[in-house]
Amino acid sequence: MQLKRKQSSLWPLLLLLSALVVAAPAMAGSDAEAPDRPSTDHADTQKKPSSRSPSDPNPLVDTATESAAIEMAAYDDTDHVTVFTPSIALGVENVNGGSLHANYLVDVVSAASVDIVSTASRRWQEVRHAGSLSGAYKPHDFGVEIGGSVSNEPDYLSWGGHALLTKDFDEKNWSLYLGYGFSRDTIGRCGGLNDGCTPFSVFSRDLLRNSIEGGADFVIDPASLGSLSADVVLESGDQSKPYRYVPMFSPEVAPTVAKGASVDWVNQNRNFERPLEQLPLSRRRYAITGRYARRIGSTTLRLEERLYDDSWGLAASSTDLRWVFEFGRRFALWPHGRFHVQKSVVFWKRAYVSGLGWDLPEYRTGDRELGPLWTVQGGLGVKWYVGHRENPEAWAFTLTGDEMYTAFLDDLYVKQRGAVLGSLGFEGQF
Amino acid sequence: MTARTFWVPVFSVGLFSLCTGCAHVAAYDRGRLARPMMTQDLEGPAAQHVLAVHEGATGGGSLSESGCGCN
């Protein structure tokens, strides 16, 4: 993360997106049978007539279904990190099996977390832009997809691509897929005396990532779907944060460092040297994910379990549950719960010990997400379908809110973190 | 036995069992499966990003490595 001071504000963009969310139904006109409801004359997915003359015996028919979605999300936590994320997604799908999707989002991050305070730095703000584009073609039971993505912020550039093959079997009762992805990140550094950024040509680190994912989707019975997937990610490069300084302690003091020890206590009792974080230069990640969805009356139960292990010794389990209740064809509401638990990487220590003469541990980190922790999350989501009565699901508002609590089990500075995440979205097909 | 050497056969056997052990459901009998809530993504890009940052085990994609606000 860069330490640059506040830059130009994106509030005008955020306000514009918010206005679009509110105004979109009104722009669609009104429904004659429900004047208080937005019209969705363009929302059905029937084939649209062409602009040719009615006398044309073979009129062109637009068989494409276009879609668009915008979302405004906000995140805030007790560690003084705030993020606003407006995003937009566009898509077009044709009955011949071709499709094209594009996404763009902006992260506006403002942070004064304890990590920043502990280094006597000031609150910083930065903006990240991320976009992706993908195209797929699946005329029958075999399909192929390719795509690319790019993410940019002043001190970090990431770009990558992926390819995916899918094949349906047994009248689409089950499908297999296999994908490969590659990305290259360039990690730089901002801040310092002039508050500027060091050019990548002067200082940067590269992180290469190769990933393979394969799995299957299958119909279990007339009311249930399932999927099972595995992914392997191979990372190569130095992903140590160039801003993260790790306090060192003498062998006598280290055992006395308490969980959640304050910034002041650490600064009074640590050794003079405070080196930068150093992580291993390669990492292999493995994960297995299972998903289950079952239709029960007018409700849908969705379960997901992800098991994770990596070459740094971090192992984890993430369990996610949603139960969607539908009220007529206009409303859906779902409670959401999630529980994540992980053990630390093997080189994790609450208090690292350094010896005389800059004798440091080979690997050292202060990244709490590499330590032992558990997180419980709960929230609600609501979807309001505002499409035409023949196809109400063609247009929809979505409102979600989640609260998260994380317990850090063996960390300096903090023992817990609370966070809230909310989003408002609007999507449509036309 | 490491976790990985345990998971590979478990995943393979599970995948084979699930793909071959499920009942054949005819296309005309999949009305309930076609409901949007069965497969629709109910999590926006921001929520996915937050999870990628909060959970050290979730990462792997480019989204998880930048813009995390975590210094």
Digit-coded pLDDT (tens) for A201-229: 888 999 999 999 999 999 999 999 999 99
Closest-CA distance, B17 to chain A, in angstroms, reads 11
Cβ-defined contact of A107 to B49 (cutoff 8 Å)? yes
Q: Where are the alpha helices (DSSP H) in A256-370?
A: 263-269
Between CA A85 and CA A17 the distance in angstroms is 11
pLDDT per position as a tens digit, A169-185: 988 899 999 999 999 99
Which of A171, A314, A342 lies nearest to residue B27, judging by beta carbons?
A171
Using an 8 Å Cβ cutoff, are A81 and A111 in contact? yes
Cβ-defined contact of B62 to A209 (cutoff 8 Å)? yes
Closest-CA distance, A319 to chain B, in angstroms, reads 12
Using an 8 Å Cβ cutoff, are A247 and A275 in contact? no
Give the predicted TM-score (pTM) of the model. Answer: 0.83
For residue A309, which residues of chain B lie inside 8 Å, CB to CB?
Answer: 3-4, 7
Cβ-defined contact of A130 to B58 (cutoff 8 Å)? no
Between CA A233 and CA A186 the distance in angstroms is 18
A81 and B CB contact within 8 Å: yes
The residues in A 89-118 lying below 8 A from B, measured between CB atoms, are: 89, 103, 105, 107, 109-111, 113, 115-116
- Map out the domains of chain A with their CATH numbers: 11-429 (2.40.160)
Cβ-defined contact of B49 to A375 (cutoff 8 Å)? no
Counted residue by residue, chain B has a size of 71
Between CA B69 and CA A373 the distance in angstroms is 19
Q: So what's the pLDDT on residue A301?
A: 97
Q: Region A352-363: what's the mean pLDDT?
A: 89
Strands A248-249 and A352-353, by their bridges, are: parallel
CA-nearest of A411, A421, A387 to A45 is: A387
- Round the average pLDDT of chain A to a whole number and report it: 85
pLDDT for A40 beyond 90:
no
Cβ-defined contact of A87 to B45 (cutoff 8 Å)? yes
> Could you identify the residue written with the tokens 């055992």?
A255
Using an 8 Å Cβ cutoff, are A384 and A407 in contact? no
Q: So what's the pLDDT on residue B15?
A: 65
Cα A122 to chain centroid distance, Å, stands at: 27
Q: So what's the pLDDT on residue B17?
A: 67
pLDDT per position as a tens digit, B3-61: 556 666 666 767 666 666 677 888 888 888 888 899 888 888 888 888 877 777 765 44
pLDDT per position as a tens digit, A259-287: 999 999 999 999 988 899 999 999 999 99
Q: Using only the alpha carbons of chain A, give its radius of gyration.
A: 25
For residue A71, which residues of chain B lie inside 8 Å, CB to CB?
Answer: 44-46
Q: Which two tokens stand for residue B61?
A: 């994609």
pLDDT for A47 beyond 60:
no
Between CA A395 and CA A372 the distance in angstroms is 42
Extended strands (E) in A155-203 = 156-169, 174-187, 189-190, 197-198
Q: Region A114-131: what's the mean pLDDT?
A: 80
CA-nearest of A134, A76, A71 to A100 is: A134
Cα A308 to chain centroid distance, Å, stands at: 17
Between CA A105 and CA A130 the distance in angstroms is 5
Task: End-to-end CA distance of chain B: give it in Å, rounded.
Answer: 37
The residues in B 23-62 lying below 8 A from A, measured between CB atoms, are: 23-27, 29-30, 32-33, 35-39, 42, 44-47, 49-50, 53-62
pLDDT for A9 beyond 50:
no
Q: So what's the pLDDT on residue A405?
A: 97
Higher pLDDT, A302 or A355: A302
Per-residue exposure over A343-363, b if at least 16 CB sit within 10 Å of its own CB, e if not: bbbebbbbbbbbeeeeebbeb
For residue A423, which residues of chain B lie inside 8 Å, CB to CB?
Answer: 44, 46-47
Q: So what's the pLDDT on residue A236?
A: 96
Per-residue confidence band for A191, with pLDDT thresholds at 50, 70 and 90? confident
The residue of chain B nearest to residue A225, with distances taken between CA atoms, is B33
Cβ-defined contact of A107 to B38 (cutoff 8 Å)? no
Q: Which two tokens stand for residue B20?
A: 């071959």
ipTM exceeding 0.85?
Answer: no
B26 half-sphere exposure, CB direction, 13 A CA radius: 2
